[in-house]
């Protein structure tokens, strides 16, 4: 049990997908201007990352590994994630329209989100079992959401402060992301 707990905490804080692994920086900067938007994007990533990791684990385990085609991992995962996102979009649109509406534009955006791809690939590199893969990807998604919401909060406050024009917007966002990244290094000692 402790192993799973540590895996969860580790994925969320110590090896945070954005702030420690530096993956998914474009949506991190692009959708962190408003906490509401950040929450929507975070939720979409949690949802898709968990499903994608689970499916790619199955593809790796039952298609690629038995035929010795591990080198096709990246290509195959891109295919699987893209198809999965499309499927999820269709499914939600038909079956859960309110959730589909609330996720809005973020759902198709995730197709090209390297954080989702990265989570799936890390699970393979670490040779996790299915349960650990699901847990890790869920925790990583939460870690992404946490970082996104925190940065959005900071940027909302920054938007109304007196700043040099050259620093406004993305530059100060990147600086803040860097500072947050340094702060998250403090979690390194935890595990």
- Chain residues that interact with another protein, rule: CB under 8 A: 59, 63-64, 67, 69, 71-72, 75-76, 79-80, 82-83, 86-87, 90-91, 93-95, 159-162
CB-nearer residue toward another protein: 59 or 154: 59
139-135-185-32 Cα dihedral, nearest 10 degrees: -20
Query: In the complex, what is the shortest distance from the CB of residue 80 to another protein, in angstroms, rounded to a whole number?
Result: 7
CB-nearer residue toward another protein: 70 or 126: 70
CB-nearer residue toward another protein: 132 or 155: 155
Query: In the complex, what is the shortest distance from the CB of residue 110 to another protein, in angstroms, rounded to a whole number?
Result: 16
In whole angstroms, give the CA distance from residue 80 to residue 7.
Answer: 25
Residues 6+ positions from 160 with CB-CB distance below 8 Å: none
Query: In the complex, what is the shortest distance from the CB of residue 177 to another protein, in angstroms, rounded to a whole number?
Result: 23
Query: In the complex, what is the shortest distance from the CB of residue 64 to another protein, in angstroms, rounded to a whole number?
Result: 7
Query: In the complex, what is the shortest distance from the CB of residue 108 to another protein, in angstroms, rounded to a whole number?
Result: 13
Q: What end-to-end distance do the CA atoms of the chain give, in Å? A: 15
DSSP 154-175: HHHHHHTS---GGGTTHHHHHH
In whole angstroms, give the CA distance from residue 31 to residue 55.
Answer: 26
Query: In the complex, what is the shortest distance from the CB of residue 60 to another protein, in angstroms, rounded to a whole number?
Result: 11
In whole angstroms, give the CA distance from residue 31 to residue 173.
Answer: 11
CB-nearer residue toward another protein: 64 or 103: 64
Mutual orientation of helices 2-9 and 130-159 as an angle, nearest 10°?
Answer: 30
Phi, psi of 78 (to 5 degrees): -60, -45
CB-nearer residue toward another protein: 9 or 78: 78
């Amino acid at each position: 049990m402790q192993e799973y707990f540590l895996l969860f905490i580790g994925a969320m804080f110590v090896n945070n997908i954005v702030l420690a692994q530096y993956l998914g920086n474009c949506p991190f900067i692009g959708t962190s201007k408003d906490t509401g938007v950040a929450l929507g994007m975070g939720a979409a990533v949690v949802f898709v990352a968990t499903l994608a990791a689970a499916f790619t684990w199955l593809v790796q385990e039952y298609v690629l590994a038995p035929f010795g085609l591990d080198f096709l991992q990246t290509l195959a995962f891109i295919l699987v994630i893209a198809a999965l996102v499309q499927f999820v979009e269709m499914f939600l649109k038909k079956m859960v329209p309110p959730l589909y509406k609330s996720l809005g534009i973020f759902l198709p955006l995730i197709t090209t989100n390297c954080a989702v791809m990265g989570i799936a690939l890390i699970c393979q590199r670490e040779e996790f079992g299915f349960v650990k893969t699901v847990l890790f990807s869920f925790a990583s998604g939460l870690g992404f959401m946490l970082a996104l919401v925190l940065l959005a909060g900071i940027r909302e406050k920054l938007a109304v402060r007196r700043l040099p024009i050259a620093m406004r917007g993305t530059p100060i966002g990147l600086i803040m992301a860097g500072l947050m990244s340094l702060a998250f290094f403090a979690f390194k000692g935890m595990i």
